[in-house]
Amino acid sequence: MRTLLQRTIIDKEPNLYPIWLMRQAGRYMPEYMAIKKASKGFLDMALDPVKASDITMQPINAFDMDAAIIFSDILIIPYALGQGLDYTPAPKLDLFDPKIFDTDLETFFKKCEPVYEAIRKTRQQLDPSKSLIGFVGAPWTLYRYMKGNNDVASMDPFTSREHIQSLVKFCVEHLSKQIEAGCDCVQVFDSWAGDLGEDFIIDYCFDPTAQIVSEIKTRHPDVGIIGFPRLIGREVKNFSAWCDPYLDCVSLSGDVPVKFLYKHLGTVALQGGIDPEALLGYDREAIMNATLPILRQMQDMAYVVNLSHGVIKETPVDSVAFLVEVIKRFRKQSRN
Ligand code: CP3
C-alpha cells in the first residue's frame, strides 16, 4: 500500500497535501523535553532505540502527521566513522582525520545499528498508512561539519573531492540500511548547499547527490527520494536536472518564487517553503497567511506540506496543531 507521501512524490498525484515537518520531534515539545531531561545528552537519546522510536512517534501521536522522520542526526555518519562527537549543546566533532574513510562497512553498520533498530521499532508502532522517512546529510554538508570549515575555496580540490566521494559511499550504505529496516521514503539534507558558489555547486552538491539518488533508486525503486539543497536559489532547476529521473521530490527553502518553480521544475514533486517563523507566537492569522497562498499556488501539483527549514525551538505546540488543522480543512474542501 502506498502512503499519501509516496503517492504524492512517486506517483505525482496532485492535491493530496500530505504534511510532515522537518524537526517535528524536538525541543518545542514537552514530551521531548521530558525524555531529554531523563537522558545523558543527545547521543544517549538518538542511540537508544526505545527512546529514539518513542521520540519519533511523539509528533505523530500529538498532531497526527502523515509521516514520521526517524529521530537521529546527520552527524551519526561521522560518529560511526570514528570521529568523536559531542553535543554541548551544539554539535562538536573531534579533529578530522582522513583515515576514518578506511572504516570497513561492518564496523560502520555496527555503530549505526541502534538507528536501524529504532526504525524497526517505529515501523511496528506506526500506522501503515503513514510514511517513515530515513535521511542522511549530503556529502558537502557532512564534510563542512567534519572539517570544521565552511570555505570550500580554501580546501585542496583533489583531496576534498576524494573525501566527498568516500562520503557518497557511506551515505548510500546508510540510506540502504535504513530502507531495509523499514523506511519507505528518504531525504538528503544539504543544509549548507547555499555556501557553494557557482564554481563549486556542481562538484560538491549536484554530482554527489545525483550519485546517491541514482544508486538508491536503482537498489530500491519503490522508495520515495527527497532532495533538500537548501538556499541555492534558482540553481534548484539545475539540481533537479542533474538528479533526473531518479529524484522524486525537491524540498524548497523559500528563496525562489513559486511561479519560477512551476515553469521549471515540472517533473519533480515539491515540498515545503512555509516560513517556520510564521509559527512563532501562536498567531492564527499569520499561520494562515504563510500557508494558504502556497497551498493555492500548488493546486494541481504534487506538493508535500512542510516548512522551509526545521521547527524553531521556541515554537508553541498550539501553532503546530493549528497548522495541521488548517491543512486538514483545506484538504477536505479541495476534494469536494
Ligand atoms: O527532523 C527531524 O525531526 C528528525 C531528526 C533530525 C535531527 N537533526 C534531530 C536533532 C534531523 C533530520 C536532523 C538533521 C540535521 N542535523 C541537519 C540537517 C537539517 C537542518 O536542520 O539543517 C543538521 C545541519 C544537523 C546538525 C545538528 N544537529 C545541529 C546543527 C544541531 C544543534 C542545533 C540545534 O538545532 O539544536 C543538532 C542537534 C539536534 N539534532 C537536535 C535535534 C532534535 C537538538 C537536540 C537537543 O538539543 O535536544
Q: Whose CA is nearest to atom 47 of ligand 1?
A: 89
**Rounded to the nearest whole angstrom, what is the distance from the C-alpha of residue 23 to the centroid of ligand 1?**
7
pLDDT of residue 150: 87
**Rounded to the nearest whole angstrom, what is the distance from the C-alpha of residue 73 to the centroid of ligand 1?**
6
Place of cell 503513514: 130
Determine the atom of ligand 1 nearest the C-alpha atom of 70.
4
Region 24-273: CATH code: 3.20.20.210
The residues with which 228 forms a beta bridge, in sequence order, are 189
* Residue to probe by mutation, ligand 1, list 73, 119, 131, 174, most atoms within 8 Å of CB: 73
Instruction: Tell me if 93 CB under 6 Å of ligand 1.
Output: no
Q: Give the three-class secondary structure for 134.
A: strand
Instruction: Tell me if 62 CB under 6 Å of ligand 1.
Output: no
**Rounded to the nearest whole angstrom, what is the distance from the C-alpha of residue 13 to the centroid of ligand 1?**
30
In order, the DSSP letters of 219-245 are H-TTSEEEEEETT-GGGHHHHHHHHTT
Q: Which residues of the chain have pLDDT under 70?
A: 336
Determine the atom of ligand 1 nearest the C-alpha atom of 59.
3
pLDDT of residue 168: 98
pLDDT of residue 259: 82
**Rounded to the nearest whole angstrom, what is the distance from the C-alpha of residue 70 to the centroid of ligand 1?**
12
Report the alpha-carbon distance of residue 325 to residue 292 in Å, rounded: 12
The residues with which 304 forms a beta bridge, in sequence order, are 271
pLDDT of residue 296: 94
Please name which of 216, 265, 273 lies closest in space to residue 242, comparing C-alpha atoms. 265
pLDDT of residue 336: 59
Q: Whose CA is nearest to atom 20 of ligand 1?
A: 191
Instruction: Tell me if 74 CB under 6 Å of ligand 1.
Output: yes
Q: Whose CA is nearest to atom 27 of ligand 1?
A: 91
> Which grid cell is 271?
515540498
Instruction: Tell me if 326 CB under 6 Å of ligand 1.
Output: no
- Which residues, at least 6 apart from 28, have a Cβ–Cβ distance to it below 8 Å? 311, 312, 313, 314, 315, 316, 317, 320
Q: For the chain, how long is the longest CA-to-CA vector? A: 59
Q: Where are the domains of the chain?
A: 24-273
* Residue to probe by mutation, ligand 1, list 22, 23, 115, most atoms within 8 Å of CB: 23
Place of cell 522508495: 223
Instruction: Tell me if 43 CB under 6 Å of ligand 1.
Output: no
* Backbone region of residue 233 per phi and psi (left: phi > 0; alpha: psi in -120 to 50; beta: other values): left
- Percentage helix, strand, coil, to 5, in the chain? 55, 10, 35
Q: Whose CA is nearest to atom 21 of ligand 1?
A: 310
CB atoms closer than 10 angstroms to residue 245: 10
- Which residues, at least 6 apart from 218, have a Cβ–Cβ distance to it below 8 Å? 246
Instruction: Tell me if 18 CB under 6 Å of ligand 1.
Output: no
